[in-house]
Amino acid sequence: MGRFENQGVAYKGFAIMAFLVVILAGIKAASPIVVPFVLSAFIAVICNPVIDWLARYRVPRGLAIMVLMVFIVLMGLWLASIVGSSINEFSQQLPHYRDQLVQQFSWVIDKLQAFNITVSRDQLLAYFDPGIALSMTTNMLSSVGGVMANLFLIILTVVFMLFEAQTLPKKLHFALDDPDMRLKQIDKFLHSVNQYMVIKTLVSMGTGLIVGIGLAIIGVDYALLWGVVAFLFNYIPNIGSIIAAIPSVLLAFIQIGPGAAGMTALLYLGTNMVMGNVIEPRYMGRGLGLSTLVVFLSLIFWGWLLGSVGMLLSVPLTMIVKIALESSQSGGWLAILLADDVSSPSGQQAASDDIEAETPRD
């Protein structure tokens, strides 16, 4: 009997893996449709608390949605025009910046040779081209801008999602055969995702604002562009701030000098230490943390699956998976593996849920 049970478990595992492969292949094939939908869902989650806040002051929900959408469209068009022009100018200057960076890199190689450290210049530049960091930033922003070209479809989807936001929890209860509203995990899941996205967006906006103003004071070109980059990459903790700081530090080094590059690096370091280690944990708590390895792997996975938008939303998407696993009795163990600390509140809660589910009741 035991052998047949083990075979059944193995077949079940293979079936689940095949099921996941088919789903992921379908998502990747349908990414031109899936990416705008995912982006619309995140925008709707961020906007829903503002709609609820306006509803408390007896503003009709339809009017509040329309006013907010008009404001978002106007701000988006204004920001897109400024950032788009900055990207175009920066792209035109990119070969010049790249050549200057290569010259500075060659100077480092010459200094190494002075200490009898022989390095092949052409081979080293072929493997470690310092201009790639600048090119990657512009390419990623251009890819995100390409997705935003479907602005009308995204805004229309957000409007319909916001109109359905009030009835979505009830539909989920009925869809999961819980008409008496006893399934508290659904409410906890929706509230946790909403709270995480809103707080993360506000912290990211503050980070981008501080970085943009600081770079403008230092005198680095395209300060608004780098502020937008800092805002977007702040959704990726641990490594996102490093990726966002590299092109700004390199540009400050080329444009002004080593002192400005050092001040730029300190600006990013100080901003991310305050926002990431003081402000964000105070309002969000440390229970939603992911391990550094999971953050890096999620960046690769979601970037492969959904492109540049998947890279920017990799951590929020992984957080949704983690919160969903925490809300289920059978997935708590996987949520613990995704967490950054076993002793975190979320990990303890998931573990306690599993223990409680496995304990026989009288």
Same domain flag for 277 and 301: no
Cβ contacts of 101 within 8 Å, gap of 6 or more: 130, 131, 134, 250, 254
pLDDT: which is higher, 61 or 127: 61
Which pLDDT tens digit goes with each residue over 154-195? Answer: 888 888 888 887 777 677 666 666 655 555 666 666 677 777
Same domain flag for 209 and 301: no
pLDDT of residue 217: 94
Which pLDDT tens digit goes with each residue over 175-184? Answer: 666 655 555 6
Same domain flag for 279 and 227: yes
pLDDT: which is higher, 286 or 271: 271
Q: Is the pLDDT of residue 329 over 70?
A: no
Amino acid identity, position 38: V
Domain end point (choices 260, 283, 306): 283
Considering the domain boundaries, does residue 307 fall inside one?
A: yes
Same domain flag for 147 and 47: yes
pLDDT: which is higher, 169 or 76: 76
pLDDT of residue 346: 47
pLDDT of residue 149: 66
Spatial distance between the Cα atoms of 123 and 106, rounded to a whole number of angstroms: 12
Task: Please give the residue range of the domain that contains residue 152.
Answer: 26-100+137-160
Nearest to 137 by CA among 235, 298, 250: 250
Same domain flag for 299 and 326: yes
pLDDT of residue 148: 63
Average pLDDT, the chain: 75
Q: Name the domain count of the chain.
A: 3
Spatial distance between the Cα atoms of 302 and 236, rounded to a whole number of angstroms: 12
Same domain flag for 221 and 266: yes
Same domain flag for 30 and 75: yes
Considering the domain boundaries, does residue 96 fall inside one?
A: yes
pLDDT of residue 266: 94
Position 287 confidence tier, pLDDT thresholds 50, 70, 90:
very low
Q: Is the pLDDT of residue 120 over 90?
A: no
Tell which phi-psi region holds residue 219, choosing left (phi > 0), alpha (psi between -120 and 50) or beta: left
Considering the domain boundaries, does residue 230 fall inside one?
A: yes
Position 33 confidence tier, pLDDT thresholds 50, 70, 90:
confident
Determine contact, residues 42/197, Cβ cutoff 8 Å. Answer: yes
Considering the domain boundaries, does residue 198 fall inside one?
A: yes
Q: In 266-280, which positions are buried (b, 16+ CB within 10 angstroms) versus exposed (e)?
A: ebbeebbeebbeeeb
Out of 21-25, 124-128, 271-275, 299-303, pick the least confident: 124-128
Domain end point (choices 283, 311, 340): 283
Spatial distance between the Cα atoms of 88 and 135, rounded to a whole number of angstroms: 12
Q: Is 85 helix (H, G, I), strand (E, B) or coil?
A: helix
pLDDT: which is higher, 8 or 271: 271
Same domain flag for 57 and 145: yes
Which pLDDT tens digit goes with each residue over 216-265? Answer: 999 988 888 889 888 888 887 667 778 888 888 888 888 887 888 899 99
Domain end point (choices 268, 283, 298): 283
Q: ∠ CA 225-226-230 to the nearest 5 degrees?
A: 120
pTM > 0.85:
no
Considering the domain boundaries, does residue 77 fall inside one?
A: yes
Same domain flag for 38 and 156: yes
